[in-house]
A and B are shown apart, each in its own frame.
Chain A
Amino acid sequence: MSQNGDPVAIAEHVTFAYPANRRPTLSDVSLRVERGAMVAVTGPSGVGKSTLIYLLGLFIRPTEGEIVLLGSPTRRLSDASRSRLRATALGLVFQDPVLHPELSIEENVAEGALYAGCSYREAIDRARRLLDRFGIGDLRRRRPGEVSGGQAQRAVLCRALIREPVLILADEPTGSLDAANGTAVLAGLRAAADRGAGVLIATHSQAVAEACDATVRLA
């Protein structure tokens, strides 16, 4: 039985270079995200904060080093296995609220549970409960274009939380939000950590970093 303090994600001496770049974006980076902890990754622009999120989200493979998720190395995992891990264990929050514009807010949130094998009905029910919890239940039938950026970002957070992930990766989650919405999003991430998820936040914000339990500074 896992409990708070157990590592959910470990980056071991990770180096990564984009094919178009000569110099690696990340070089020999190591970090550890434990259950129940919020970890901030800070550093100037271009230092590789987002790239670290992509690596831990299994979207790219490290040039050197290893990403260990839930105790298992991921370097040799197939694309399908990586997708399944994303569907069941990872939650993603981007700086800009990326949602399907043609779907309603509740359909967007429900999608977060569908690829893990959840039925449509169950996913919609969960989405409604989450939207109510984050104060935007009355917007569930609206399209993303019909709500504010802050409301859309809360919907993105709901989509990340609907599958009850063990690791939440957030890339500048409050970067484009006003103070009230930023606070609401951070509160949601904290609540997820309190329920046992590990949370990694890439941020420029000193306030966000201070709200976390630990900070890893990339230079």
Chain B
Amino acid sequence: MADGAGLRPAVLVRLAIRGISARPIRAFAVAASVAVAVAAVVATSGRTEATRRAIIAHLEDPSARLIRVVSQAGPDGFDPRTIERLAALDAVEWIAGFGSAGTLVRNPSLGDSTTGNAGQPVGSRLFWGRLLGGPLIRLGGGRPPGDGEAVVGQRAAVTLGLADRSGLLDDERRGRLAAVGVFAAGGPVADLAAFVLVPGRADEQPTELLVLARRAVEVEAVVRLLPGLLGPGGERAAIHRADELLALRSALAAEAGALDGAVLLLALAASAFIVGSVLFGAIEARRREFGLRRTQGATRSTIGALIVAETTVLSGAGAVIGGPLGAALVVASAGSWPDLLLVLAVGVLVVLSAILGAIPPAIVAAVREPLYVLRSS
């Protein structure tokens, strides 16, 4: 005969699985409720996470990393050497300086410039720095301009009728210029595509600087450094950055986190409640079974463990179904897979909450006296 050590764990699991297969409707109710809870939390959290990733990606966009510095010193601007100093910073990916006032440029081949009948004019701006090598402005054809030359924005080229991206231009300030290339401008500087850009000279000064931080988190550090690096009058410069975007990021992240937490808590409470309710109903129907097991030597803890084991198996199965289901919903709605760790964590938490929900009915079943079976037999 056995040594009286009690029910073996492997036998407990076997009895639990046997008990589940004997009552398929109750098993389905428990597994389905857990599956729905897991799927709901994974779908909600996964979508939120996808949105959060999109926001962060957006904040790494140049529009979020761009710092605009405008001189407040009237016609005097910044020392052009400032641009080289700022370009040397690790946190700065790209920098360019621009003159303040634009002059008009025309294409003399389209008419008589002296009579003002030389086609539609466009504005010109002076620039400093490695303008055409950055992520915002790219040379689409031709070469960078030298002294007496200019590059033309794509929209300006259309206006000026520069079909082959080169030609001669008349500038009100510089006189005759050779257009040697066409550039494309995007993002926050897209409007520059409507201008002709002319290299600034040493005796001229930029009145506006565009500084692109390497990462969004470095914007703040660059902004703090700027007044000291701008030279005389730098402390009076107006510095503009994408504060609204940064604030939006914080707000959305916090909101998303709060939503995640609320959905998770709701799902955990719901799964615990549903599983507990289903099991309470089932235990009434299984009084005779539990009583009979007690007459055969099952301890109270064995009865409780049996119910918890059944719940663990069922809710585990529910989590296995609900996890991929929730992930599929995320893919369908957000177009990306949720984090595997998130799916696993949600599955484990919901299973634990289901087990928690099973404990009260397990206790009720365990404390029932087996005398009921004996007296009703």
Contact = CB atoms under 8 A, between A and B. Distances in A.
28 contacts: A50-B375, A59-B374, A84-B299, A86-B296, A86-B297, A87-B298, A88-B1, A88-B4, A88-B297, A90-B297, A92-B296, A95-B377, A98-B295, A100-B289, A100-B292, A103-B18, A111-B296, A114-B11, A115-B7, A115-B299, A116-B297, A117-B2, A117-B3, A117-B8, A118-B11, A119-B10, A163-B1, A163-B2
B297 to A, nearest CB: 2
Contact of A98 (B11, B18, B369, B377): B377
B1 A116 contact: yes
Interface of B is mostly: helix
A103 B22 contact: yes
A134 interface: no
B301 A80 contact: yes
Interface of B: 1-8, 10-11, 14-15, 18, 22-23, 288-289, 292-302, 369-371, 373-375, 377
Contacts of B23: 102
A96 B377 CA distance: 5
Interface of A: 50, 53-54, 57, 59-60, 79-80, 83-84, 86-88, 90, 92, 94-96, 98-100, 102-103, 107, 111-120, 159, 163-164, 171
Given A115-B302, A120-B10, A50 B297 contact: no
A119 B8 contact: yes
Contacts of A94: 374, 377
A191 to B, nearest CB: 17
A39 to B, nearest CB: 19
Contacts of A111: 293, 296
Contacts, number: 109
A28 B295 CA distance: 26
A93 B298 CA distance: 16
B296 A54 contact: no
A189 B298 CA distance: 23
Given A80-B299, A80-B301, A117-B7, A60 B377 contact: no
Given A87-B297, A87-B298, A115-B298, 5 more contacts: A95-B377, A102-B22, A114-B11, A114-B15, A171-B374
A116 B289 CA distance: 18
Contact of A87 (B289, B296, B300, B301): B296
Contacts of B295: 57, 59, 86, 92, 98
Contacts of A98: 288, 292, 295, 373, 377
Nearest to B366: A79
Contacts of B369: 59
A120 B2 contact: no
Contacts of B6: 84, 87, 115-117
A191 B368 CA distance: 34
A108 B371 CA distance: 19
A117 B296 contact: no
Given A86-B297, A115-B297, A164 B289 contact: no
A83 B299 CA distance: 5
